[in-house]
């Protein structure tokens, strides 16, 4: 205790406060995976990582492009002649060819229905940095942003930890598939005003994380009208815009504001990245697109704290500018995401597990309410601990996403091989069948027998699937 108090005196309040959000079941699941990670041969009874929204389904396409385009890298004999130019200091406005390529990609995934000005793009280190950058531009410590629930658990870290802001959940419900309603927005806003909280804006994710759904056009119009009438900002996190694999099509807020009249465009800001659509989270490419001139000017100054490396910009500019490749990539990525989602959810249907209908993202929203012995959030957590410790699957409980109803869990499906998906499904089926028969604990041996292991992915040759959590192990879960 003495050492802890001494550390708090030596360190800053920002460094030592508890607003990082790591004390959450969302991160606890990652810790459980880290302590006992699944490997098909070295640790077949380990925890399978299904809490990581990572798109690994199209690495082969990017690898093929890299082999065919060695000049895109300054670290190859073919591209080394550009080394000195790119290795020198680059202005934090970003390489023009990179910003042009990103603006073109953003237009492409929106069907060419809207164009983006490259000069309005701000760079940051991944969507995490982009979200924080826009918050620093728009609000002061103590201010608040409304956010429809369920929402991404790490928003607490991204939006609040260092900015001193707060989030106010806008309650959405399964009765209408968790759609955002004008009534819910007004209720949350009114309650905040009654509590003398200064609401600076609303943040939405479209497509939604964790629901895997896109927001309907009329709903977006209602949202834009709401923020205009209340003169508050709208931040649209559209980092999954290129992962739409089924109808309805994705509609961006950028399309809405060019159709609606008398709209204050300077209240609208878009967050984007290449982590999900392109499956490149390790490249740390986050972007803010703002219709507000002052935000663009201020944000550009702030972006100097989290620039994308010039080497990364140079490489990506070449790849994203290859229209033939990008057209093929986006189509094939959507096809593979849809196939994986259908394979997984149809496997769950065999044991009567349903999921919220979805058309985008790298995850689905699984309904396990029927398995809850207690229809409460405490019951949800009890079931989650069983899934972590006995079934050895890291899925994320709905309460971590501020879901208004117990029994929902987010399942990520794009960060593993098909064979791993099959093992996960076998574990779930054995668990559900065991509960129906009154078996207290299903033996892991059932999941080990008669498996056709044909893992071809190179990531299994030397290392366990990444990433490894930097957060200390949690006392809340065993998973060993």
Alpha-carbon span 148 to 286, nearest angstrom: 22
Which of 185, 188, 187, 267 minimizes the C-alpha distance to 232? 267
Task: Give the active site residue among 26, 151, 152, 291.
Answer: 152
Do strands 285-290 and 121-125 pair parallel, antiparallel, or not at all (unpaired)? antiparallel
Q: Is the dihedral of CA 111, 112, 114, 120 positive or negative?
A: positive
Task: Give the active site residue among 28, 158, 237, 417.
Answer: 237
Phi/psi for 290 (5° steps) reads -120, 140
CA atoms within 13 A on the CB side of 119: 4
Task: Give the active site residue among 276, 277, 289, 417.
Answer: 276
Is 152 part of the annotated catalytic residue set? Answer: yes
Alpha-carbon span 131 to 120, nearest angstrom: 16
Torsion, CA 295, CA 300, CA 301, CA 302, rounded to 10: 80
Alpha-carbon span 54 to 418, nearest angstrom: 15
- Encoded tokens for 419: 């064979």
Which of 134, 151, 414 minimizes the C-alpha distance to 278? 414
DSSP 113-166: SS---GGGEEEEEHHHHHHHHHHHHH--TT-EEEEESS--TTHIIIIITTT--E
Task: Give the active site residue among 48, 215, 239, 263.
Answer: 239
Is 237 part of the annotated catalytic residue set? Answer: yes
Which DSSP helix (H) or strand (E) runs through 108? Answer: helix 96-108
Asked if residue 34 lies in contact with residue 468, where contact means CB atoms within 8 angstroms, the answer is: yes
The SS3 call for residue 267 is helix
Q: How is residue 36 annotated by DSSP?
A: S
Which of 166, 152, 167 minimizes the C-alpha distance to 400? 152
Is 276 part of the annotated catalytic residue set? Answer: yes
Alpha-carbon span 226 to 234, nearest angstrom: 10
Alpha-carbon span 219 to 221, nearest angstrom: 5
How many other C-beta atoms are found inside a 10 Å radius of the C-beta of residue 356? 17
State the catalytic residues.
152, 237, 239, 276
């Amino acid at each position: 205790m003495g050492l802890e108090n001494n550390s708090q005196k030596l360190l800053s309040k920002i460094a030592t406060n508890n607003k990082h959000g790591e004390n959450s079941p969302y991160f606890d699941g990652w810790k459980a995976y880290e302590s006992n990670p699944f490997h098909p041969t070295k640790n077949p009874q380990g925890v399978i990582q299904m809490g990581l929204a990572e798109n690994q389904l199209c690495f082969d396409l990017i690898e093929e492009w890299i082999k065919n385009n060695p000049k895109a890298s300054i670290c190859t004999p073919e591209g080394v002649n550009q080394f000195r130019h790119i290795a020198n200091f680059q202005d934090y406005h970003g390489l023009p060819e990179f910003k042009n390529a990103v603006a073109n990609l953003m237009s492409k995934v929106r069907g060419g229905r809207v164009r983006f000005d490259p000069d309005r793009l701000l760079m940051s280190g991944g969507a995490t940095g982009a979200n924080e950058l826009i918050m620093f531009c728009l609000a002061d410590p103590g201010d608040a942003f409304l956010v429809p629930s369920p929402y991404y658990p790490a928003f607490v870290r991204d939006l609040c930890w260092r900015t001193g802001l707060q989030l106010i959940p806008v309650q959405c419900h399964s009765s209408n598939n968790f759609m955002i309603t004008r009534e819910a927005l007004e209720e949350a806003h009114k309650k905040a005003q009654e509590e003398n909280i200064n609401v600076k804006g609303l943040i939405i994710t479209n497509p939604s994380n964790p629901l895997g759904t896109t927001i309907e056009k009329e709903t977006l119009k209602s949202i834009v009208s709401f923020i205009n009438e209340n003169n508050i900002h709208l931040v649209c996190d559209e980092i999954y815009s290129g992962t739409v694999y089924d109808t309805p099509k994705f509609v961006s807020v950028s399309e809405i504001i060019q159709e609606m009249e008398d709209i204050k465009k300077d209240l609208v800001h878009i967050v984007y990245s290449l982590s999900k659509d392109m499956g490149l989270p390790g490249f740390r490419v986050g972007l803010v697109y703002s219709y507000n001139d002052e935000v663009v000017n201020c944000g550009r100054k702030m972006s100097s704290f989290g620039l994308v490396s010039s080497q990364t910009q140079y490489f990506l500019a070449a790849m994203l500018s290859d229209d033939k490749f990008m057209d093929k990539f986006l189509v094939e990525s959507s096809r593979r995401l849809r196939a994986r989602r259908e394979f997984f959810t149809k496997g769950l249907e065999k044991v009567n597990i349903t999921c919220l209908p979805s058309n985008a993202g790298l995850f689905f929203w699984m309904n396990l309410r029927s398995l809850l012995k207690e229809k409460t959030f405490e019951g949800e957590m009890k079931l989650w601990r069983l899934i972590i410790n006995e079934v050895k699957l890291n899925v994320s409980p709905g309460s971590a996403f501020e879901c208004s109803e117990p029994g929902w869990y987010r399942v990520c499906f794009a960060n593993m091989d098909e064979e791993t998906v099959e093992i996960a499904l076998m574990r779930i089926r054995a668990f559900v069948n065991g509960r129906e028969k009154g078996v207290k604990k299903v033996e892991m041996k059932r999941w080990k027998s008669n498996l056709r292991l044909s893992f071809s992915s190179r990531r299994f040759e030397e290392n366990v699937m990444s990433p490894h959590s930097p957060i200390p192990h949690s006392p809340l879960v065993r998973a060993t």
